[in-house]
Amino acid sequence: MNRSNSPETGFIDPSGANAEAIRDLTEDVLDQLLGQLGAAEKRSPLPDESTAPTGTIPESPRSQTDLLDDLETIAAGSMNPAHPGYIGHMDTMPTTVSVLGDLVASAVNNNMLSVEMSPVFSELEVQLTETIASEFGLGPNAGGVLASGGSLANLHALSVARNQAFDVHDDGLAGLDGEPVLFASDVAHTSLQKAAMLLGLGTDAVVAVETNANSRMKPSALNQAVEQAERDGRVPFCVVATAGTTTTGNIDPLPAVRDVVDEHDLWFHVDAAYGGALVFSEAERDRLDGIEGADSVTFNPQKWCYVAKTCAMALFADLDILQEDFRVGAPYMRGDDAIPNLGELSVQGTRRAEVLKLWLTFQHLGREGLGQLIDESYRLAAVIRDRVADQDALELASEPEMNIVCFRAAPDWCPPDERDALNGRLQRYLLSRQDVFVSLPTYRDTRWLRVVLLNPFTDKTTLDRLFDGIDLFLEAERP
């Protein structure tokens, strides 16, 4: 092809003719990247302002110098999860090898649609999802596929649950008797409502089940909700338990929920997008007892396993059900008796080889490395929990079960109806004065400060800055 209008470094020449120019470009980008990340603690966890480069398309190629300048602007306007004070969301700095894995996966540009388009990566994904399913105890025929985020993984699992329950793979919902409904706690992730909408069930098909003071689903309330739905002529088909709620990090009582599921012969899905990582901690994995009884599990290594976004998976206890109740064959793809075409089994067709960065992270950190990071984050969470409990002006939203602590300032001198505004000002103060970012979710109609202890470089010094800032702020606000 005529490439005269393209820059010399537009593509990597397969003959190696432009190898030096490519090396110079990548070294420039890498130097810039290391300069930014190596000084991340000197930048705010969140930018003061963000200015994106122009979104127009130029007529002629721009210089590499201009592109590097724009990359600098983009980095300056991005959130900074590498900062040890960035402790507000389930986002963290990724492992080095997952960043490099992203680079390699992009460079080789294989397509997870089929074995023919991604031979080694398809085999690796099949093996790795089987290994992780085994970690959860899902059984000898378990496995799954990767997805670009937990919302897609939940959609995938609920699609299989619906198809298996109502045999609607081919004919759809048009002739169905009764309204299908599923059940999840009143603090479950909103991706369930999105999934119900996309599946043609409507968001009202997700029945919210009452939780206790610690944000855990009440099994008795679940049983009552299922029975009430049946009396109303609705058709229950699935229960979703959460292992790691988004706001407070609590875990539904999985064995007791499974008992209700078995009594009513329903599909049992566990959204362990966040908490699934506990299987890599010998000290904490018992918190997931009961997950082995799930029919499907959502797990997001992009969170507590430190894999660069995106990286999630939908796991199934019985892969035969996935084949029978979800697979749509593509006649233009060559199959393989040993390794399936993963695009036929997943919501996504074309998909990048995200398995590489996941596999590299597991290989580089090992069980010991991952387990230590999880255990350390529990240790820091306990420090925060105790310091909150020791201060009369602070209160917990719930008892922490993970590395998430949700609390707020509630001094007796501040009227209850003014405390939401007080905590909003406190959040802004902590960011501007202490370089500590905590999020400000609404939980049970009240604003709370949420700390998520993921960053491997967060330590006691960070927590001291947090609580010193709280003390200074409350002293200044006190009438």
180-209 average pLDDT score: 98
Q: Are residues 185 and 310 in the same domain?
A: yes
CA distance 258 to 260: 5
Say yes or no: 108 and 237 in one domain: yes
Same domain, residue pair 231 and 318: yes
User: Does the residue 25 lie in any domain?
Assistant: no
- The pair of structure tokens assigned to 180 is 């299908």
- The residue-averaged pLDDT of 403-422 equals 98
Note whether 67 and 182 are same-domain residues.
no
**Domain end residue (candidates: 48, 80, 112):** 80
Domain identity same for 200 and 304: yes
End of a domain among 361, 395, 414? Answer: 361
Q: What is the pLDDT of residue 330?
A: 73
**Residue 72: strand, helix, or coil:** helix
Question: Can you tell me the distance from the alpha carbon of 92 to that of 80, in angstroms, rounded to the nearest whole number?
Answer: 9
pLDDT at 381: 98
Contact yes or no for 234/206 (Cβ under 8 A): no
- Do the Cβ atoms of 300 and 274 come closer than 8 Å? yes
Output the pLDDT for position 337: 66
pLDDT range class, residue 333, cuts 50, 70, 90: low
CATH number at residue 449: 3.90.1150.170
CA 306, chain centre distance (Å): 10
Give the domain extent around 311. 104-361
Does 99 reside within a domain?
no
Residue 122: CATH number of its domain? 3.40.640.10
Task: Please check whether residue 407 is in contact with residue 388, taking contact to mean a CB–CB distance below 8 angstroms.
Answer: yes
Co-location of 378 and 345 in the same domain = no
pTM of the complete model beyond 0.85: yes
Rounded to an integer, the average pLDDT of 229-245 is 98
Instruction: Say yes or no: 254 and 330 in one domain.
Output: yes
The predicted model gives 362-379 an average pLDDT of 98
Q: What percent of the chain has pLDDT over 70?
A: 99
Average pLDDT value over all residues in the chain: 96
Rounded percentage of the chain residues whose pLDDT exceeds 90: 94
Q: Mean pLDDT over residues 196-214, rounded?
A: 98
CA dihedral sign, ordered 280, 381, 448, 466: negative
d(CA 333, CA 468): 61
Q: What is the pLDDT of residue 335?
A: 59
Q: Which tokens is 81 given?
A: 């999860």
Task: Say yes or no: 378 and 463 in one domain.
Answer: yes
Q: Helix (H, G, I), strand (E, B), or coil: what is residue 234? A: strand
Task: Indicate if 349 and 373 belong to the same structural domain.
Answer: no
Please give the residue that has the higher pLDDT: either 48 or 203: 203
Task: Tell me, yes or no, whether 371 lies in a domain.
Answer: yes
Q: Count up the domains in the chain and report the number.
A: 3
Structure tokens at 276: 């699934």
Q: Is residue 9 part of a domain?
A: no
Residue 182: pLDDT band by 50, 70, 90 thresholds? very high
Q: What is the pLDDT of residue 174?
A: 85
- The span from the CA of 37 to the CA of 78, in Å, is 12
Pairing label, strands 267-271, 296-299: parallel
Residue 48 has pLDDT above 90, yes or no: no
